[in-house]
């Protein structure tokens, strides 16, 4: 593919679409693990508590806040798509996409700070 053919990849909205897809894919991969973890409660409180204590590790907390970032950025990105498709609102889409990513990062960072 020529450099001219790849030029769209530097567009904020192309990156936003890629982030939306990759965040959705990552969340889909995470969900079975999330459900299996909560399913530990079938065997009683102790197995779930044991997993939660394992999840106190800093790297796990970092991953959890990363997942919250992915969840919010995916939701806000999806909301932007719904707005474009259903309302007569076309202006400022690059700014909205950037704002969505920034807001998601701030919320995830606040959560991370609260967990430590």
Q: Which residues bind other proteins (CB under 8 A)?
A: 21, 24-25, 27-28, 31-32, 34-42, 44-46, 48-49, 52, 55-56, 68, 71-72, 75, 78-79, 81-82, 85, 107, 111, 114-115
CA separation, residue 75 to residues 24, 36, 71, 97, 116 (Å): 9, 23, 6, 12, 25
Least distance (Å) between residue 52 CB and other proteins: 5
Q: Judged by CB, which is closer to other proteins: 5, or 44?
A: 44
78-85 contacts, C-beta under 8 A, 24 or more apart: 78/20, 80/16, 81/20
- Rounded to a whole number of angstroms, the minimum distance from the CB of residue 101 to other proteins is 16
**What value, to the nearest 5°, has the Cα angle with vertex 38 and ends 37 and 39?**
90
Give least dist CB 42 to other proteins, A: 4
């Amino acid at each position: 593919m020529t450099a001219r053919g790849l030029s769209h990849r530097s567009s904020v909205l192309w990156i936003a679409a890629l982030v939306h897809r990759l965040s959705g894919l990552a969340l889909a991969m995470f969900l079975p693990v999330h459900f299996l973890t909560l399913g530990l409660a079938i065997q009683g409180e102790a197995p779930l508590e044991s997993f939660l204590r394992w999840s106190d590790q800093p790297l796990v907390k970092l991953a959890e806040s990363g997942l919250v970032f992915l969840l919010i950025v995916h939701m806000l990105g999806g909301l932007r798509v719904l707005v474009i498709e259903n309302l007569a609102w076309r202006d400022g889409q690059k700014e909205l996409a950037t704002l969505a990513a920034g807001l998601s990062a701030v919320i995830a960072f606040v959560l991370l700070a609260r967990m430590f």
